[in-house]
């Protein structure tokens, strides 16, 4: 317990009680939940769970889990981890057990919780193994959504915020009472057309052509991430060939129109924006794979 610095937020009455897996190293070092990037906070905004976008990952947990003022209908959100003793970024190294689930159930017994939200697949798997939920399987894949009920508490499973699952906000939106299409403050962040919809209206499809960025000898830096920019070195410039400085990128099946700046004698700049950079969930030293899907659409994902 001494190594875990994330203070759980538990209240006598909670509208939504989030249960994540464990404390990742970066968030634990920061002493703030989900502070490794803006990915989780952007997802809450796109799904309508919060009314204002979080711009600093170090204050997200304060605004959402402690102050509650930007939450949907000022709802009270709580947060804890299933495993409160392990600091580990690689979830495959985290073990779950019956006692951990029993601790969460004891909280439900003591507190009035409307909805319990299981944020990681390993959390849901342990709950299912203890007989508290039945996960939603279809064609061999998990569909997410409502998976059970414990007394007066509805139980939901949602995908992890940086998982490669399309339309994650639809699952998170099920936690509140207003459908996504009726949430005005999330209008600009609503779902964008799927790849298949976009490709059907484009010229000449191209698929399977990929590059790995950066090239050997170069690196993605913390400054690049802060500036939400990918530097395109000379050997990759011809791969993009943008039209009027604008191209479209796809990250986690969401398409955005972004700026591409050509520069003579320097690296070109692909400015993807804060939301896309957060969804990409990269850190200094990471690499990305960029695949050209058609003439002006590029899929970007962490390698």
Q: What pLDDT does residue 243 have?
A: 54
CATH at residue 282: 2.40.330.10
Whether residue 53 is found in the same domain as residue 150: yes
Tell whether 5 is covered by a domain: no
Which parts of the chain fold into alpha helices (H)?
A: 25-30, 39-47, 60-61, 98-110, 121-129, 168-173, 195-199, 222-226, 237-240, 274-280
The pLDDT of residue 208 is 60
Structural domains counted in the chain? 2
What is the predicted pLDDT for the residue at 234? 84
* Residue 154 sits in the same domain as residue 168: yes
Strands 205-213 and 229-232 turn out to be unpaired
In DSSP terms, 251 is beta-bridged to 254
Same domain, residue pair 176 and 63: yes
| Element containing residue 302 per DSSP (H, E) | strand 297-302
List the 153-157 sheet strands across, edge first: 77-81, 13-20, 112-118, 153-157, 145-150
Per-residue pLDDT, 207: 53
How many residues are recorded in the chain? 303
Indicate if 39 and 78 belong to the same structural domain: yes
4 within a domain of the structure (yes/no): no
Tell whether 42 and 77 lie within a shared domain: yes
Does 111 lie in the same domain as 62? Answer: yes
CATH of the domain at 70: 3.40.470.10
CA distance 28 to 191: 31
Residue 6 lies in a domain: no
Q: Give the DSSP per-residue string, 208-249.
A: EEEEEESPTT----HHHHHTTEEEE-GGGHHHH--BTTEEEE
Q: Decide if 50 is inside a domain.
A: yes
CA–CA separation, 47 and 40 (whole Å): 11
Would you say residue 7 lies in a domain?
no
Distant-in-sequence, close-in-space partners of 191: CB < 8 Å, separation ≥ 6: 167, 169, 170, 180, 254
In a domain, residue 101? The reply is yes
What pLDDT, on the 0 to 100 scale, is given for residue 143? 80
Last residue of a domain, one of 170, 189, 208: 189
Query: Are 113 and 245 contained in the same domain?
Result: no
Q: Name the strand (E) or helix (H) holding 3.
A: none
Instruction: Say if residue 70 is in the same domain as residue 120.
Output: yes
Structural domain of 85: 13-189
Judge whether 161 and 34 are in contact, CB under 8 Å: yes
Check whether residue 180 and residue 206 sit in a common domain.
no
Residue 72 shares a structural domain with residue 88: yes
Collect all residues with Cβ–Cβ distance below 8 Å to 208 and sequence separation of at least 6. 291
H or E, element range at 75: none
Rounded Cα distance between 8 and 48, Å, is: 23
Of 189, 212, 242, which one is at a domain's C-terminal end? Answer: 189
The domain boundary, picked from 130, 164, 189, lies at: 189
Which residue matches tokens 């591409």? 260
Residue 97 lies in a domain: yes
Indicate whether 201 and 131 sit together in one domain.
no
How far apart CA 154 and CA 80 sit, in angstroms, is 17
Q: Is residue 3 included in any domain, yes or no? A: no
54 and 28 part of one domain: yes
65 torsion bin: left (phi>0), alpha (psi -120 to 50), beta (else): alpha
List, for the chain, all residue ranges whose pLDDT scores fall below the cut of 70.
Answer: 1-2, 139-141, 185-208, 241-244
């Amino acid at each position: 317990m001494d190594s875990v610095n994330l203070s759980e937020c538990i209240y006598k009455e909670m509208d939504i009680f989030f249960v994540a897996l464990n404390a990742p190293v970066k968030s634990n070092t920061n002493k703030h939940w989900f502070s490794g990037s803006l990915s989780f906070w952007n997802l809450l905004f796109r799904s309508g769970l919060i009314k204002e976008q979080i711009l600093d990952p170090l204050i997200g947990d304060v605004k959402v889990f402690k102050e509650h003022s930007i939450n949907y209908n000022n709802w009270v959100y709580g947060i804890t981890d299933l495993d409160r003793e392990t600091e580990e970024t690689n979830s495959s190294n985290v073990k779950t057990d019956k006692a951990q689930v029993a601790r969460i159930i004891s909280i439900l017994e003591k507190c009035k919780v409307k909805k319990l939200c299981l944020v990681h697949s390993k959390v849901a798997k342990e709950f299912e193994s203890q007989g508290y939920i039945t996960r939603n399987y279809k064609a061999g894949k998990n569909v997410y959504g409502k998976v059970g009920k414990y007394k007066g508490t509805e139980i939901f499973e949602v995908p992890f915020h940086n998982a490669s699952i399309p339309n994650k906000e639809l699952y998170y939106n099920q936690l509140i009472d207003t459908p996504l299409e009726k949430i005005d403050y999330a209008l600009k962040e609503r779902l964008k057309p799927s790849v298949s919809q976009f490709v059907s209206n484009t010229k000449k499809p191209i698929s399977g052509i990929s590059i790995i960025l950066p090239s050997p000898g170069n690196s993605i830096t913390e400054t690049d991430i802060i500036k939400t920019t990918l530097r395109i070195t000379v050997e990759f410039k011809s791969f993009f060939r943008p039209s009027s400085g604008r191209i479209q990128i796809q990250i986690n099946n969401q398409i955005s129109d972004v700026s591409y700046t050509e520069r003579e004698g320097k690296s070109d700049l692909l400015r993807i924006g804060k939301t896309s950079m957060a969804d990409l969930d990269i850190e200094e030293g990471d690499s990305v794979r960029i695949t050209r899907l058609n003439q002006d659409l590029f899929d970007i994902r962490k390698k």
